Amino acid sequence: MNAQILSPLIIQILNGLAFSMLLFLLAAGLSVIFGMMDFINLAHGAFYMLGAYLGLTATQRLGNFWVALIVVPIIVAALGFALEKILLRPLYKRGHLDQVLLTFGLAFVVTDMIRWIWGADIRSVPQPPELTGAIPLGITAYPRYRGFVIVAGLVLAAALWAIQARTRIGAVIRAGVADKEMVGGLGINISLVFACVFAFGVGLAALSGVIAGPFLSLAPGMDAEQLILSLIVVVVGGMGTLKGAFWGSIVVGLADTFGKIYVPDFSLMVIFAIMAAILLVRPNGLFGRAVT
Amino acid sequence: MAILRDRELTDSAAVAPAAAGAAVGGAQTQSRASRRSTLVSGLTVLATLLVFPFVVPSVYLQNVITEVLIFGIFAMSLDLLIGYTGLVSFGHAAFFGVAAYTAAIVATRYSDNLLATLAAGVVAAGLLAVPTGGLAIRSSGIYFLMLTLAFSQIVYAAAWKWTWLTGGSNGLAGVPRPKFGGFDFSSPATFYYLVLVFFVATFLALRRLVSSPLGHSFIGVRENESRMQAIGYDVWRIKLASFVIAGLFGGLAGALFSYYNGFVSPHDVYWSVSGHVMIMVIIGGAGTLVGPVLGAAFFLIVQNVVSSQTDRWPLIMGLAFIFFVLAARRGIVGMYLDAVAVARAAARR
């Protein structure tokens, strides 16, 4: 009797967490780019979408999802590195608004190219054979692939935290978020760090896209939907912090999942209302620093 | 140190749009000759727009220009925020959409009287702008952009879900062209003139506004908010005034659009509409009023031409937008002024 009430609830919580992990990978990149470079990358959703479609092609051509999972983020990160050098670099002397505007234009270009190449039909990526079926959880069972998404997200979150807190690169990035002129003054090649941070963030977005492939479906518009949610995550959690991106993703992922079940007509409003409420109490988000 | 940085900011970022505004918008410092030439070119444009339906009998072209004028009003209203007050709103479609829906609901259910539908739409936009603006201007920069986006997405969700009022995903069809007294604005040419009247009124009103003391305080907030505060201005009120006025004129455009299109759907409140009008402002040249109208014309005409030839309109628009951001940040108006300056320098030599 209890199990009948409990098992749908557990499944929904797990679904919410799986979605949270996809959002976290997007939001972590968005947040690090903002923390370091002070602008919002509105093309982030487009890179997520590019990752998903490249993942589709790589899985079909190579017949192996795991290779796609490694190769696609690297390709997209390389693209991000090049775009940073060619398009964003000339704008550093100007205001951050110009960078936001540029990425907005870039989003149109990338998503329309994707539509050009892959068409507008809804596509889906086959699940890797190792992850089909369900995991028994005592009173209920859960799809294996979604379980993988949760575990992979948590592992990546831990890895990102370790990189940020325990390595030299992480120290440079934390220092850059705090005061980039000073980091430059200490003899660190800050423009190379910028390009790498942008490439890394964009690569994470692509990774999120590849992981989302067998879980959500691929269609035009998937970029905007996910971009808006991950922007909310970053704003709720606080810009420029990994911790904020993580807890923000959990809040938004669960709110989205439960909102769609209990108030299907107003799920989007629930999320925006939560965001507005958090911002009114904490204008810089849950873990954010003051932005001037 | 902080003061020094502020002054640098004022010097580098401000002079360009301010100069453009002076030359096009007509500030007090203008010479009499250039003021006269502004007047002459303004009257020429007005005369062209007045005779246009007689010269060009094509209903298609009349509709395109009507749409340009409606979006011109919309883009000018956003320019007040982005170009003059320095508040980059990414949710301006909320006011456009709310007014379009309100005008459509009044027109289809109660009365197709011009004043009733228009007033209802504009008042609804204003009623939305006061609380959302009041909340959004508590934050600034990226957070302001995000909050305005969030509010407009709430309006979008409401339009999508309040089916009994808004028709949900079907939208509201069959919005009639308005009537006023004995006049019926149902033919393309009469409706064109109706829109033209509101367009000219909006342009003159906003031009007047930006050269008034209130308008100068908008520019002051854009240039240096903390200094304005230090001098004793109530920055919060100035920003709110700008936000609400922009919302009202955005609403005017929305109400006109609902008559023009005869149909309102959640798409008209979606964030892509906010994005498109922002593109119009930037491509035309922010902070010039004339620029955003040219931006709207450029955007809509190119869209009409390109999308009849190819499906790749978003790609071309994206590339054009990137070009303007990278190479011609002051927009079409800025390019024109640069060309004039080059020509004058060449003539002097």
For A230-269, the pLDDT digits (tens) are: 888 988 888 778 888 999 999 999 999 998 888 877 777 7
Q: Which string of b and e fits B170-190 if b means at least 16 CB within 10 Å?
A: ebbeebebbbeeeeebeebee
Share of residues in chain A with pLDDT > 70 (%): 97
- Span B53-71, average pLDDT: 90
Give the pLDDT score at B201: 96
Pick the more confident residue, A203 or B188. Answer: A203
On chain A, the residues whose CB falls within 8 A of the CB of B161 are 265-266, 269
Three-state DSSP state, B180 = strand
- Span A181-188, average pLDDT: 86
Q: Which H or E run contains A141?
A: strand A141-143
Residue among B149, B278, B329 whose CB faces A98 most closely:
B329
Residues A20 and A153 sit within 8 Å (Cβ to Cβ): yes
- The tokens describing A29, both together, are 């990149």
Query: Quick one: pLDDT band at residue B22, thresholds 50, 70, 90?
Result: very low
Instruction: Domain A2-281: give its CATH architecture.
Output: Orthogonal Bundle (1.10)
Residue among A106, A109, A268 whose CB faces B153 most closely:
A268
CA of A138: how far to CAs of A4, A58, A118, A135, B260, in Å? 12, 36, 42, 9, 61
The residue length of chain A stands at 292
On chain A, the residues whose CB falls within 8 A of the CB of B141 are 96, 291
CA distance B67 to A198: 39
- The tokens describing A228, both together, are 């808006």
Domain positions in chain A are 2-281
Interface pTM (ipTM) of the complex? Answer: 0.86
- Span A1-10, average pLDDT: 71
CA distance B249 to B74: 7
* Chain segment A268-285, per-residue pLDDT in tens: 778 888 887 887 788 778
Residues B78 and B292 sit within 8 Å (Cβ to Cβ): yes
Three-state DSSP state, B113 = strand
Q: Residue B322 and residue A109: Cβ atoms within 8 Å? A: yes
CA distance A234 to B76: 31
Share of residues in chain B with pLDDT > 70 (%): 91
Minimum CA–CA partner of A274 in chain B: B150
A interface residues, B as partner, C-beta within 8 Å: 34, 39-40, 87, 90-91, 94-98, 100-102, 104-109, 111-113, 115-116, 224, 228, 231-232, 235, 239, 265-266, 268-269, 272-273, 275-276, 279-280, 283-284, 291
* Chain segment B168-224, per-residue pLDDT in tens: 888 898 888 888 877 888 888 889 999 999 999 999 999 999 999 999 999 999 999
Whether the pLDDT of residue A136 is over 50: the answer is yes
* CA B96 remoteness from chain centre: 10
On chain A, the residues whose CB falls within 8 A of the CB of B282 are 101
Q: Which of A84, A87, A93, A101 to mutate to test the interface with B (most CBs of B within 10 A)?
A: A101
Residue among A94, A101, A272 whose CB faces B154 most closely:
A272
Q: Residue A107 and residue B153: Cβ atoms within 8 Å? A: no
Give the pLDDT score at B29: 53
Percent helix, strand, coil in chain B, to 5, is 80, 5, 15
Cβ contacts of residue A236 below 8 Å, gap of 6+? A244, A248, A251, A252, A274, A275, A278, A279, A285, A286
Three state DSSP letters for B126-179:
HHHHHHHHHHHCCCCCHHHHHHHHHHHHHHHHHHHHCHHHHCHHHCEECCCCCE
Cβ contacts of residue B204 below 8 Å, gap of 6+? none
Diameter of chain B by CA atoms? 69
* Chain segment B116-151, per-residue pLDDT in tens: 999 999 999 999 999 999 988 888 777 788 889 888
On chain A, the residues whose CB falls within 8 A of the CB of B329 are 94, 98
- Paired with A123 in beta bridges are A218
Task: Tell me the pLDDT of chain B averaged across its residues.
Answer: 86
Residues A246 and A155 sit within 8 Å (Cβ to Cβ): no
Minimum CA–CA partner of A91 in chain B: B326
Q: Using CB atoms within 10 Å of the CB of residue A168, give its burial: 0 to 12 exposed, 13 to 18 middle, 19+ buried.
A: exposed
- Span B264-275, average pLDDT: 90
Cβ contacts of residue B78 below 8 Å, gap of 6+? B89, B92, B246, B250, B277, B278, B280, B281, B292
Q: Residue B157 and residue A39: Cβ atoms within 8 Å? A: no
Q: Residue A112 and residue B282: Cβ atoms within 8 Å? A: no
Cβ contacts of residue A14 below 8 Å, gap of 6+? A142, A146, A147, A150
Give the pLDDT score at B188: 86
CA of B345: how far to CAs of B33, B338, B348, in Å? 18, 11, 5
Residues A102 and B322 sit within 8 Å (Cβ to Cβ): yes
- How many beta-carbon pairs under 8 angstroms link A with B? 105
Pick the more confident residue, A189 or B77. Answer: B77
Q: Residue A98 and residue B150: Cβ atoms within 8 Å? A: no
Q: Residue A109 and residue B141: Cβ atoms within 8 Å? A: no
CA distance A25 to A160: 10
Query: Quick one: pLDDT band at residue A179, thresholds 50, 70, 90?
Result: confident
Give the pLDDT score at A289: 67
Three-state DSSP state, B112 = coil
How many helical (H) and strand (E) elements, i.e. helices and strands, does chain A have? 11, 2
Whether the pLDDT of residue A52 is over 90: the answer is yes
Domain positions in chain B are 59-278
How far does the CA of residue B235 sit from the closest CA of chain A (Å)? Answer: 16
Residue among A95, A231, A279 whose CB faces B13 most closely:
A95
Whether the pLDDT of residue B11 is over 70: the answer is no
- The tokens describing A53, both together, are 């479609």
Share of residues in chain B with pLDDT > 90 (%): 50
Give the pLDDT score at B28: 47
Give the pLDDT score at B19: 41
Give the pLDDT score at A3: 62
DSSP A218: B
CA distance B296 to B279: 9
Give the pLDDT score at A75: 96
Minimum CA–CA partner of B315 in chain A: A109
Q: Which of A84, A104, A115, A280 to mutate to test the interface with B (most CBs of B within 10 A)?
A: A104
- Paired with B179 in beta bridges are B113, B184
Three-state DSSP state, A130 = helix
